[in-house]
Structure 1
Amino acid sequence: MEVEGMRRSETVISFGPEDLKGVNLPHNDALFIQVRVANDDILRVFIDSDSSVNVISKDAFVQMNLQGYHLEAVETAFFGFVGHVVYPEGKIVLPLTLGSQDLKKTVMTSFTVVDSPSSYNIIIGRPAMNELRAVTFTHHQKIKFSVGARVGEVRGDQPSSRKCYVEAVRADQSKTRREKKKSKVEEGEWRIVDKGEVHFIAEGEQEMIEVGPGQQIRVARDLSTSTRVSLINCLKANIHVFAWSQQELTGISPLISELQLNILPGSHPVKQKKRHFGPEKDKVINEQVKELLKAGYIREIQFATWLSNVVLVSKSTGK
């Protein structure tokens, strides 16, 4: 860019293999960092280049206990934030600092305060990124910015990123379950049970109830007669929803649970030598393997690339 004949110098910002040091690969993690806003160090700060505003949650704003700063009214509503329309609490301008020691940069940034459930404290959007003249690279889990003729950087926090993702997924699943719990039963509608209403019954306070041929379920002993009768009738009417053997569990949808092994590229397969555990333990292993084969959970292969021996753990009962 040229302004009145003067050329503005730009600091070159680049990413290379050395920036991957300390990053857990492979990954699809979002970029979460720690920043300093006003006089507080804030964790769980989400870098979102798709956001047209900088957002701070009301909970974080209250905990910061800012003195001398005042919220300005905001009349425009947000759409798309956590999936619905949100009306902001207000807008405030605060100093935002990236980096540490001599390689840090501070800019006055406008934040919109939002009272909405969220797994992160602050969203840094395009306005702050442009003010900081910062560049992000999620693969390298870094954000870099110019500090004079030099380049400052902040490393992303992958554990926080994954924790926030899990919390967001759980919140979305809870919302879906609440919406689905509108189906009616004969005696009325299902209702959401508060956490304080749930309690666990010790094994000694339970009794076995037969709800079908060879099919037994434990229920509490101290139930009233009417509740006990209603419960047993409900269990018998819905006996088909229970699995009484491993063979009846045909599989779990990947939408519910999925396991992925993050193996370093170039790692060599590990093949352990087969161990013998003794007649008693070998018998237990063989029985369990037969059950898993019969249920279709595992299958036999002739040439194993990876091989690990079975691990047996004793139960408190001695089994």
Structure 2
Amino acid sequence: MIHMISGGATDGDSGRARKAHGRRLENFEISRGADLPQDPVISFGPEDLRGIVTPHNDALVVTSTIANYDVARIFIDNGSSVNVLFKSTLDQMKMGGFEFEPVSTPLYVFAEHVILPLGQIVLPLSLGTDSRRVTKMIAFTVVDTSSAYNGILGRPALKDFRAVASSYHQKLKFTVGKGVGVMCGYQKVARRCYERIVEEEETRGHEHSHGSLSLVLQL
């Protein structure tokens, strides 16, 4: 189960690069209003709850287009320092022939579990539909492990799309020129993913503890 992912090459693939990234804030000067990006206002209101079953604590899971493939079960995770694609997803996309850019920094997930990435790959990612559709080249960290999700969009992708996620409203909103695009989450899919994760973790817990109960927490 992936709870919160840190590490990877997003903020640098070496200790020196990561320290330099952290020091940038020390030299940061507060921008004046005139220097701020003139992005459209992104907001959420009661209308965004139309069609949503409440109350709920469902994860935000969407379908997006990656390299001309419609990929379902994409988990929106603003706690992740990297965007993730699983090798099984790439295999289904028949993109196994691509060479990965090497990544030396491992991924660290909840409970100190460490995953060594296969590498990094840059692919076009599209959000939205019709006139409110935008495409950007996004770097994905590729991992070879099982997951209920096909991919994870973390802070780097949300930043590139200037996107704001609300799991409560089951919406992902992002800037498209002077307008705002919207992607809706799928509550049923999110709950199926949750059920699969818990079942798999409980099975592993029984195997590792010879029958003792494994307590699993889901974001």
TM range (shorter): 0.7 to 0.9
Secondary structure, counterpart of 1:116 in structure 2: coil
* Structure exhibiting the larger radius of gyration computed from Cα positions: 1
Secondary structure, counterpart of 2:133 in structure 1: strand
- The equivalent of 2:42 in structure 1 is 13
Unaligned runs of 5+ in 2: 1-30
- The equivalent of 1:89 in structure 2 is 118
Secondary structure, counterpart of 1:50 in structure 2: coil
Within 5 Å, give how 1:136-285 maps onto structure 2.
Answer: 136-181=165-210
The sequence identity of aligned pairs, in percent, is 45
Secondary structure, counterpart of 2:126 in structure 1: strand
For residues 167 and 108 of structure 2, the distance between their equivalents in structure 1, rounded to whole angstroms, comes to: 25
Residue by residue over 1:264-294, the C-alpha shift from the partner in whole angstroms, topping out at 9 and shown as x without a partner, is: xxxxxxxxxxxxxxxxxxxxxxxxxxxxxxx
- The equivalent of 1:66 in structure 2 is 95
Give the Å deviation of 1:180.
Answer: 2.4
The alignment's TM-score, normalised by the length of structure 1, stands at 0.54
Asked if 1:27 corresponds to 2:56, the answer is yes
Instruction: Report how many residues are paired.
Output: 184
- The equivalent of 1:300 in structure 2 is none
Secondary structure, counterpart of 2:115 in structure 1: coil
For residues 10 and 111 of structure 1, the distance between their equivalents in structure 2, rounded to whole angstroms, comes to: 26
Cα 1:171/1:82, change in 2 over 3 Å: farther
Unaligned runs of 5+ in 1: 184-252, 256-319
For residues 180 and 68 of structure 1, the distance between their equivalents in structure 2, rounded to whole angstroms, comes to: 40
Moved more, 74-83 or 38-47: 74-83
Secondary structure, counterpart of 2:104 in structure 1: coil
Whichever residue aligns with residue 11 of structure 1, its letter is P
Cα 1:153/1:175, change in 2 over 3 Å: same
For residues 36 and 106 of structure 2, the distance between their equivalents in structure 1, rounded to whole angstroms, comes to: 40
User: In the alignment, which of 127, 142, 145 is matched to residue 156 of structure 2?
Assistant: 127
Contact 1:2 1:8 in 2 (8 A): no
Secondary structure, counterpart of 1:160 in structure 2: helix
Contact 2:90 2:96 in 1 (8 A): no
User: In the alignment, which of 132, 135, 140 is matched to residue 106 of structure 1?
Assistant: 135
Whichever residue aligns with residue 70 of structure 1, its letter is E
Asked if 1:43 corresponds to 2:42, the answer is no
For residues 160 and 33 of structure 1, the distance between their equivalents in structure 2, rounded to whole angstroms, comes to: 9
- The equivalent of 2:5 in structure 1 is none
Give the Å deviation of 1:6.
Answer: 5.8
The alignment's TM-score, normalised by the length of structure 2, stands at 0.78
Contact 1:109 1:128 in 2 (8 A): yes
- The equivalent of 1:57 in structure 2 is 86
Runs ≥4 in structure 1, deviation > 6 angstroms?
none
For residues 40 and 151 of structure 2, the distance between their equivalents in structure 1, rounded to whole angstroms, comes to: 27
Compare relative contact order (CA 8 Å, sep 6+) and give the higher one, 1 or 2.
Answer: 2
